[in-house]
Amino acid sequence: MISYNSLADDYYVNMNLSTEMELSNSREAILHYFEQIQKKFPTMRNFYARDKGDFILEEDKDQGNYRWCSVETRRLCSGQLNPTSLEDALEQHRHALELAPYGLSLSPLDCEALDLMVGFDFTYRGNQNQLIAEALGVCPAFERLAAMTGATFVSNEPALTVALDDDCRTQCRVNIETRTNAYQIRTGEYQDEQVSVYVTARHYGSLSANRTYVEVVDRLAVLCRDVVDNYVAGSVLEPLARAIAFE
């Protein structure tokens, strides 16, 4: 099995559950929910609220890896930066989802979309759009355009979304995000910034009567692992890492 820690400078595994209705946000419900999270993961001890009504519980961020969980008006999120393994992050996400029906009055009917995303960050100082073209190439239909005299890549963020069932309820998206802007290209003043590769598996719509959120996220995890291991690691992540190392 591929070690994801070795594929990029940082990697993370995030779960996002978007709901059709607003989640319970009473003081008692929110505090009890996060207390149950903390019992499982005692090092998650930093709790705070944002102005717009989002509540967050997280570990200290100074170790290079940390867990976090948040409850928003219509979204439940859980994430881990640089987990020891994918399974370690999934254990946290399963726990967050197991507690939600009881702690936040979340019904299987209330699912707008459930996402599991594995992200990879590479630190690179330079034109990240050019880097993507050199490491991964461009679509054959655009090769002549890319070869125009004096052409400079200002935006180059490949993305592909595929459906894995006939009704398009299960989808997987692979996309690359760069942070280089026109000002940096014009001035040549680049900073050490992240170029990111995201692999996101998503379930759309309410759950069937005999299915739980944990079962769905486990199915999405199998899909994410398959896509990363068999389609992204060797074709996207490793060429990017080599191109950065040779700069």
Residue 98 has pLDDT above 80, yes or no: yes
Give the closest residue to 165 by CA, choosing from 201, 189, 215, 212. Answer: 201
The predicted model scores a pTM of: 0.95
Q: How many CB atoms lie within 10 A of CB 63?
A: 10
Q: What is the mean pLDDT of residues 186-196?
A: 96
Residue 7 has pLDDT above 90, yes or no: yes
- Give the residue numbers spanning the domain of 15: 4-245
Alpha carbons 180 and 101: distance in angstroms, whole number? 42
Both structure tokens of 144: 């002549």
Residue 246's pLDDT is: 86
Distances from the Cα of 50 to the Cαs of 42, 71, 126, in angstroms? 22, 11, 34
What percent of the chain stands above pLDDT 90? 93
Residue 2's pLDDT is: 80
Both structure tokens of 202: 């998503």
Alpha carbons 154 and 145: distance in angstroms, whole number? 13
Residue 39's pLDDT is: 97
Both structure tokens of 212: 């739980």
Alpha carbons 41 and 78: distance in angstroms, whole number? 13
Q: How many CB atoms lie within 10 A of CB 51?
A: 5
**Contacts with 59 (C-beta within 8 Å, 6 or more apart), sequence order:** 41, 43, 44, 45, 46, 66, 67, 68
The SS3 call for residue 29 is helix
Residue 247's pLDDT is: 74
Q: 71: domain CATH number?
A: 3.30.160.110
Strand ranges in the chain using DSSP code E only, listed in sequence order: 10-19, 46-49, 55-58, 66-71, 75-81, 111-124, 159-163, 170-177, 193-204
Task: Give me the chain's average pLDDT, please.
Answer: 95
Distances from the Cα of 136 to the Cαs of 50, 121, 241, 243, in angstroms? 39, 16, 11, 9
Give the closest residue to 4 by CA, choosing from 247, 221, 246. Answer: 221
Q: What is the mean pLDDT of residues 65-72?
A: 97
How many residues belong to the chain?
Answer: 247
Residue 1 has pLDDT above 70, yes or no: no
State the total domains in the chain.
1
Please report which confidence band the pLDDT of residue 52 belongs to, taking 50, 70 and 90 as the band edges: confident
